Structure 1
Amino acid sequence: MSVPAPDPGQVRIDTVEQLERLGLPVPPPSYPLVWEPGDEVELRPRVELEARCAVINVVLAHAFGMPGRDALAWLEHGGLIDQVTPPEYNFLAHDEGDVRSFALHTEALAALGWLLTVVRRLDPAAPGAENIANLFPNLPAGEAYRDWQARVLTAPRDPRLAAATLDLYYCLDWSYLKAEESQLALPGYVDSNAIGQRRWALEWAVTFHGPFHEDPPGWEEVDLST
């Protein structure tokens, strides 16, 4: 269910303060806001968030050695094949695509896990994928999708908090790229690739309603160019 989005101007002020505390470059005042005053915000339904987590978890498992036929069989058993995007399917079925790009999805998975409160904290300066293997379906042990859902009991976060976090990662994406371009010291152990993956997940999961928003994009349609 959608709720009134927080004041985007105040959220941006808070975002800039966080960037300054991290010692990162700050976007210019003209940098666009993610939403407008009066917009509403919501998260995608919990079942969609959980399904996306499960699919990415399987894609990551294949990137690190799980046979594609086993990955697809697990997804079939969980009723998740229709949640797999064409690039993901081609990777699992035919090993098409860049393995390194799929392996980067660990940080997207961490962000989705944070939205479901499976991951407690999403630190902009620290890897979010450390020690999270037990938080998602245990594929080597044969844990089924429904068993994982019953084990973790997810609880989606307040969409207003999710919106503010999206604004932070929208700006962090710019700041990390600028810092790397200028060869500035980064605040921790993650780089722009990790930040971009987290932003990807947040852009997909957090949806806005208002006169300037189009329909929510599919996973492969998320635009990170701005």
Structure 2
Amino acid sequence: MTKAAPDPRAVREASLDELARLGLPLPPAAFPLVWEPGDTVELRPTAELEARAAVLHVVVARCFGMPTEAAMSWLLGSHLVELVTAPEWQFVIGAKGDHRSFVLHHDAVFALAWLLGLSRHLDPTVPPDDALMVQMPDLPAGETFASWRSRSLVAVRDPAEAAVLLDLYYCLDWAFQESEQIGRALPGEVDSNAIGQRRWALEWAVIFTGPYHDGPPEWEEVDLSV
């Protein structure tokens, strides 16, 4: 569902108010907006959100001991292999790459679960809880992707609500990194790496259309440098 994006300046004011409430530094005045007045917003199709969450769930499971053969078999049986990125595939089949970075994808799954309505919150001070694992495919039990989709009570978030949270996480990403660089205390149990993973998922999932936006990026093309 495509709809008008909310007023970006009002959203930004709310994001900065939240940063101040959390005791975080505020980004500079020239910090760019995520979208412009008049843009429209939508989410990627539900099936794409579910598939990306499932693939990342398998990648994280490999980090915690899921055998290579089991992971490959699950992805093949779920017809998701073509949606696995090259770095993810290298890690799944040969444990190649930065193990720690793949572990961090648990927070990207958390953000995708929120978008799908499977998680009630995306509180930047709280790590994902054990309930998240229950909401995802039961890999040890051999639950298939199709079976998981059938039992999941998906209620996809409103695109405007997702845009608001994306703007907050865009600001949080800067604020958490700045806090860590200057030695300032963070407001909870979450660090900048986790915030960045959640922003990554939101940046990929939320699609804006307007004169200053390119087409939606692939997962590995999401730019978190700004």
- SS of aligned partner of 2:42: strand
Corresponding residue for residue 223 of structure 1: 223
Q: Structure 1 residue 89 and structure 2 residue 94: aligned?
A: no
Structure 2 unmatched ranges of 5 or more = none
Deviates more, 1:44-53 or 1:129-138: 129-138
Query: What is the CA deviation profile of residues 142-185 of structure 1, one whole-angstrom value per residue up to 9, with x for unaligned ones?
Result: 11111111111211100000001000000000000111111111
2:77 is matched with 77
- Offset from partner CA, 1:105-143 (integer Å, 9 cap, x none): 010000000000101101011102543111100000111
Q: Within the alignment, does 1:144 sit opposite 2:144 as a pair?
A: yes
Alignment of 1:159-170 (within 5 A): 159-170=159-170
Q: Which residue of 2 aligns with 1:177?
A: 177
Instruction: Tell me the secondary structure at the aligned position of residue 207 of structure 1.
Output: strand
Q: After superposition, what is the alpha-carbon deviation per residue over 1:53-76, rounded to whole angstroms, capped at 9, x for unaligned?
A: 110010011111011121011011
Opposite residue 147 of structure 2, the aligned amino acid is: D
CA contact 1:58–1:71 (8 Å) conserved in 2: yes
In structure 2, the residue matched to 1:18 is 18
| Rounded Cα–Cα distance in structure 1 between residues aligned with 2:184 and 2:154 | 38
Partner of 1:201: 201
In structure 2, how many angstroms separate the alpha carbons of the residues matched to 1:12 and 1:23? 17
Percent of aligned positions that are identical: 57
Say whether the 8 Å CA contact 1:20–1:26 is kept in structure 2.
yes
SS at match of 1:71: helix
- Could you list the per-position Cα deviations for residues 76-115 of structure 1 after superposition, in whole angstroms to 9, with x for gaps in the alignment? 1111111110111111112211111100001000000000
Three-state SS of the structure 1 residue aligned to 2:131 is coil
Rounded Cα–Cα distance in structure 1 between residues aligned with 2:3 and 2:96: 41
Deviates more, 1:149-158 or 1:191-200: 149-158
Distance 1:206 1:223 in 2: 13
TM-score, reference length from structure 1: 0.98
Which residue number in structure 2 is paired with residue 43 of structure 1?
43
Aligned partners of 1:107 and 1:129 also within 8 Å: no
Cα contact 1:69–1:92 (8 A) shared by 2: no
C-alpha root-mean-square deviation of aligned residues, in Å? 0.8
Which residue type is aligned with residue 214 of structure 1?
D
**Runs of 4+ off more than 6 Å:** none
Superposition pairs of residues 114-129 of structure 1, within 5 angstroms: 114-129=114-129
TM-score, normalising length: structure 2: 0.98
